[in-house]
Structure 1
Amino acid sequence: MSSLPAPTRRSLLGGAGALGVAGALGGAVAAPAHAGPWTPARFKGAKLLAAPDRHLVGRFSYGLTPALAAQVRRRGGARRWFEWQLAPGRIPDPAVGSLRTWWSGLDRGAQELWSRQTSEIEYGWAVMEDYQRYVLLRRTRGQHQVLEVMTEFWENHLHVPVNGDAQFTHRVPYGDLVRRHALGTYEDLLRETITHPAMLVYLNQAVSTKRRPNENLARELLELHTVGRGRFTEDDVKSSARILTGWSVDLWRTWRASYQPEQHWTGPVRVMGFHDANAAADGRELTHRYLRYLARHPATAQRIARKLACKFVRDDPPQSLVDHLAGVYLAHDTAIKPVLRALVAHRAFRASAGLKVKDPGEDAVSTYRALRVAIARPPEGERGEQYAANAILWQTAALGTTPFEWPRADGQPVDSASWSSPSRMIASFELHYTMSGGWWPTAGTGYRRPGQWLPRRRIRFDVLVDHLCQQLLGRRSTATLLKACSEAVGVGRREVITREHDLVRWSMPRLLTTLLDSPYHLRK
């Protein structure tokens, strides 16, 4: 071992500590300001993705891995990979096929779920936790990375929280529906979600009648799902509520969804530029015409375009980008794929590398992917709670939130600022360190042994750091990363590492977490 000074708490926090809190979760990653003694070495591994390709794949996946990079290269680059991903039906996904069966409640019907809750056999919150685990593992293991990213986006935009005593009965099929339409048209997605029993229950449309129209869904449809605040009046909300009467769910009994023409309010309605005589007792076609109008409204186009730009480009996207995406959205009859193609081709997207912070779910999932942790099917009962397939939900919760648990109707934020607090950062450090050491979870997992991170029997430390940067971050080492790693484990940059070295025996978790704590992992 070299005679370097003992690591400080700052250096043990890894790259984020060495590079600074602001650098890890704040602005763009700066290039090393010096070289000299910390000039990084180079390990000849597999060909790396170019920076633009790495940027695109990082934004539209749950973490770049060597396997994903190889897939991108086989497809001819990130843009061709992206186009291939836009047709997920053609991409086999065997690793996801059996996941549904890991938690038995996910395919039970609404009435059975309610019966099991009232009989205290299985509570709704437990089923919803299993659903959250299911989606986290889909993101971890699945080949349909773009589809999963877009499913999460829309499931938050058209938000139905999992933490509810009623809507849980229909919440799993609701997520399935969003996934089916996530790369289709927004018009179809809006129509199917707004009339889905999970949404009807959550926003009280299930109890709306012609004598007492409930305005909750009517208002959120306008304010959150389509045109946005300031575009409508209270009279518009009232007409919106009247249009939606008739859609119903048999609450607290069969939980069957139906349309009841006898409960549909009839008479002239007007919402902004939409007006209809509304003379028919059956208002389903009226609902569809109304939702078609909202989906194709220019204000909806602007709202969808801005939210996509905030999610995938930067928190403050240029108006020129928003206008361009909104124009593509309207020109293609609300089709989602053309908008995504326009987004990734825009200069604002290309210039936004390093400007988005991973949210809690993205951090947890990408850490599992980077460390290549194998996850086994958990057994039933209390013993299964310690398995990684279940514990991943608690790990994500420790970072700030879990999938689809945002308590308000506006859904989980897509901006970076919401996930850039010091407490979030410290929680991420803890996650990275415990997983780098393979300390928790331990049941139902397959962690790589420390020696397996060495590409050969003898390797110089600075070359090893470059190899690990390629494996964990998909990029080359930098002077700053090399220095941070050296300080974290107390090893000189030219020291030779073998499987018997103290670094491998005791300090490999510190080395791995130094890279995972860096901006290159914390951001996407």
Structure 2
Amino acid sequence: MSALKQTMTRRSVVGGIAAAGAAATLTTGTPAAAAAASPAPATFLPADPLLHLLRRATYGPGPASIAEIRRLGATAWLDRQLNPSSIADPVAEGVVARLPLARLSIAEIRSRVGAGTLKQYSWDPMWQLGWAAVARAIWSERQLFEVMADFWSNHLNVTCPHGDVWDSRIDYDTTIRQHALGRFSDLLKASARHPAMLTYLDNRFSGKAAPNENYGRELLELHTVGLAYTEADVKDAARLLTGLTVDNATGRYRYDGTVHAVGAVRVLAFQHANTTAAGGEAAALELLDYLAMHQATARRIVTKLCVRFVADEPPASLITTLIKVYLDNRTAIAPVLRALFTSAEFAASIGAKTRTPMEDLAATVRTLGYGPAASGTKFLESLYWMARDAGHAPLNWGPPNGYPDVAAAWDSPSGLLVRWNFHLSIAAGWWPDTLVRPANLLTGMVGALPATYGALIERTATRLNGIVPTAQQITALAEFYGRTPASPLKTNDPAAGWMYPYLMGMLLNSPSFALR
């Protein structure tokens, strides 16, 4: 063992990475600050429109996805992603198949409780659902579908795991995924009649004697029109939604007319006589259709899509355009996404978004091109805990508004350090230690041994971030190894062996990788 390796401690490595990263333009301190600085694309990101589309419409470019989009072109690639059922997905499906509890229906979970193979109120299925979300984000070929499933899971959030939805949260995920690229009106009605949402926001306990306003309020404020409502609107919405409940014996949705509050209601411009208990469910569905097609809902949905895919403060021109697309297509989401991704505003938004912690984690594995372990689920659990340590375990946001998707929400030095730690841990194969990596990490990343340290840095940066660093950055990174860019690189140099992951880590720590 070399003297260098003997004296290299974790603290000195992190310190070295921090110093080199700072010298390599990590001067803004956090990814959020990097985005706020609005760097020119040539500074941190390549101007390549295909890579831009991959960074935004997926959980991060990987070698296979880059090759695919270059072969298909942007239009054909987007067409394919908007038709996910046409895409074979054997790797992700194979990994998710190791999580049998993450695919159970309400009836199946309850039958397992009855058979004694699963405890009542067990969180095990919900934990597995979180792990499955990690697997799909990283290894699914249906990337845009997975991004949209996550988008709607936040927009119509039901925290997972959550004790009250122990038997229905898995099925709710299935419902979200069924409508992820369909019509928002259909998704809204499916969510409103799902036991998980009815339980989470208390509508299952709402009746004519004492209407519960929780779901009615969040339906208006979070799910549809935003703050364009009055307290009278909330009260009438809550009254109209009474009777949408859950069968305690089966755990399934049912409409109970005996607890429905009859009488005329008005919610915004929607009016209904609501004269019979038997017609209460149909009246509630009419309200949901009205809200889905409301101008304020259109603005809210397309603005959130623009925040997700374009910029934290999206262009007003694009929002106006997409509102019309949304309404003209009766809330269908695929036409909105197509218009968004082919817009001039999207093309001009390179460098305007920052990855959230979960995206950063998924992008790390995808960029490295590492595969799932051959068996077991421990590696998924490890990745999930990494995301949770960063404050962003999939589906786990507590309040009903879903995870934030703006840079300022994730702007903290401690969060940055968590990301730096998992970059290096994953790249080096320390944790998880069972991901499938190249036998020779350096040649697996960049091919034959480069002749110089400068060439090593350039080729690794291009491989991981898609852009060649500046001369100053290359010099700073070479200095981390005590070399210059022109120094010859030898096979037995630490930089070509056990210290190569530190170069990978430093590059993954840069704003180039932090930006979506």
CA displacement, residues 65-98 of structure 1 (integer Å, 9 cap, x when unaligned): 121111001112x243122211112121111222
Question: In the alignment, which of 516, 520, 524 is matched to residue 508 of structure 2?
Answer: 516
Report the counterpart of residue 270 of structure 1 in structure 2. 266
Query: 1:281 corresponds to which residue?
Result: 277
Is this contact kept in 2: 1:66–1:474, CA < 8 A? Answer: no
CA separation of 1:145/1:17 partners in 2, compared to 1, >3 Å: closer, same or farther? farther
> How much has 1:346 moved relative to structure 2?
2.6
Whole-Å Cα distance in 2 between the matches of residues 98 and 484 of structure 1? 43
SS of equivalent to 1:459: coil
Letter in 2 for 1:98: G
Instruction: Answer yes or no: is 1:485 the counterpart of 2:482.
Output: no
CA distance in 1 between counterparts of 2:333 and 2:418 reads 35
Match of 1:334 in 2: 331
AA of the residue aligned to 2:28:
A
Q: Which runs of 4+ in 1 moved over 6 A?
A: 6-9, 115-120
CA positional deviation for 1:391: 0.7
For each residue in 1:13-52, what CA deviation from the matched residue of structure 2 results, as whole angstroms up to 9, or x when unmatched?
Answer: 243563134275222335789xxxxxxxxxxxxxx98622
- Residue 362 (structure 2) aligns with: 365
Residue 226 of structure 1 and its aligned partner are, at CA, apart by 0.3
Shift of 1:120: 9.2
CA contact (8 A) 2:270 2:290 kept: yes
SS in 1 for 2:254: strand
After superposition, where does 1:385-404 map in structure 2 within 5 Å? 387-404=378-395
| Aligned-pair CA distance for 1:12 | 1.7
Equivalent-residue separation in structure 2 for 1:487 and 1:198 (angstroms): 55
Correspondence for 1:181 among 172, 179, 182: 179
Q: 1:409 aligns with which of 389, 393, 400?
A: 400
Letter aligned with residue 173 of structure 1: D
Q: Check conservation: 1:195, 1:247, Cα contact below 8 A.
A: yes
What is the one-letter code of the residue matched to 1:274?
Answer: F
> Compared with structure 1, are the counterparts of its residues 84 and 8 closer, same or farther at alpha carbon in structure 2 (3 Å cutoff)?
closer
Aligned pairs for 1:15-414 (under 5 A) are 15=21, 18-22=24-28, 25=31, 26=34, 27-30=37-40, 51-76=48-73, 78-110=74-106, 113=109, 121=118, 124-229=122-227, 231-251=228-248, 253-282=249-278, 283-376=280-373, 378-379=375-376, 387-414=378-405
2:5 aligns with none
- Conservation of the 8 A alpha-carbon contact between 2:203 and 2:212: yes
Secondary structure, counterpart of 1:151 in structure 2: helix
- Worse-matched range after superposition: 465-474 or 430-439: 465-474
What amino acid maps onto 2:453 in structure 1? Answer: F
Q: Structure 1 residue 416: deviation in Å?
A: 1.4
Between 1:493-502 and 1:447-456, the stretch displaced more is 447-456
Amino acid at match of 1:191: K
Relative to the length of structure 2, the TM-score reads 0.90
AA at the equivalent of 1:368: V
State the match for 1:470 in structure 2. 462
Give % identity.
36
Q: 2:17 aligns with which of 12, 30, 40?
A: 12
Give the residue type in structure 2 aligned to 1:264: H
- Unaligned regions of 5+ residues in structure 1, if any? 34-47
After superposing the two structures, state which structure 1 stretch, 455-464 or 351-360, moved more. Answer: 455-464
* Cα shift at 1:487: 2.5
Tell me the alpha carbon deviations over residues 430-464 of structure 1, each in whole angstroms, 9 at most, x when there is no partner.
Answer: 11111222111214654653343351145322222
Per-residue CA deviations over 1:106-154 (Å, capped at 9, x if unaligned) read 2334355467679695563332221111011111111111111111111
What is the deviation of 1:318? 2.4
Which structure is higher in RCO with an 8 Å CA cutoff and minimum separation 6?
A: 1
Residues 21, 509 of structure 2: 8 Å contact kept:
yes
Tell me the alpha carbon deviations over residues 464-512 of structure 1, each in whole angstroms, 9 at most, x when there is no partner.
2222123212333433442332123333212332432221233111111
The residue type equivalent to 1:204 in the other structure is: D
Aligned residues: 497
**What code does the residue aligned with 1:503 have?**
A
> Aligned to 2:271, what secondary structure does the other structure show?
strand
Q: Which secondary structure does the structure 1 equivalent of 2:448 belong to?
A: coil
- Distance verdict in 2 for CA 1:16–1:142, change over 3 Å: farther
Q: Is the 8 A contact 2:264 2:275 kept in 1?
A: yes
The CA distance in 2 between the partners of 1:512 and 1:201, in whole Å, is 46
**Contact 2:138 / 2:365 at 8 angstroms: preserved in 1?**
yes
- Are the equivalent residues in 2 in contact too, given 1:489–1:510 (CA < 8 A)? no
CA deviation vs aligned residue, 1:223-251 (integer Å, no higher than 9, x gap): 0000011x111111111111111111134
Q: Give the residue type in structure 1 aligned to 2:431.
A: W
TM-score computed with the length of structure 1 as normaliser: 0.88
CA contact (8 A) 1:187 1:291 kept: yes
Shift of 1:214: 1.2
SS of the counterpart of 1:19?
A: coil
Does the Cα contact within 8 Å between 2:24 and 2:477 map onto a contact in 1?
Answer: no
What is the CA-CA distance between 1:423 and the residue it aligns to? 1.4
In 1, Cα distance between equivalents of 2:419 and 2:334: 33
Q: C-alpha separation between the residues in 2 aligned to 1:446 and 1:59?
A: 25
- The SS at the match of 1:409 is coil
For the aligned residue pairs, the C-alpha RMSD in angstroms reads 2.6
- Say which is worse superposed, 510-519 or 459-468, in terms of deviation: 459-468
Structure-2 residue corresponding to 1:450: 441
1:506 alignment partner, SS class: coil
Moved more, 145-154 or 12-21: 12-21
Moved more, 123-132 or 508-517: 123-132
Query: Is 139-148 or 364-373 further displaced after alignment?
Result: 364-373
1:29–1:519 Cα contact (<8 Å) kept:
no
Tell me which amino acid in the other structure corresponds to 1:22.
T
Distance 1:291 1:449, change over 3 A: same
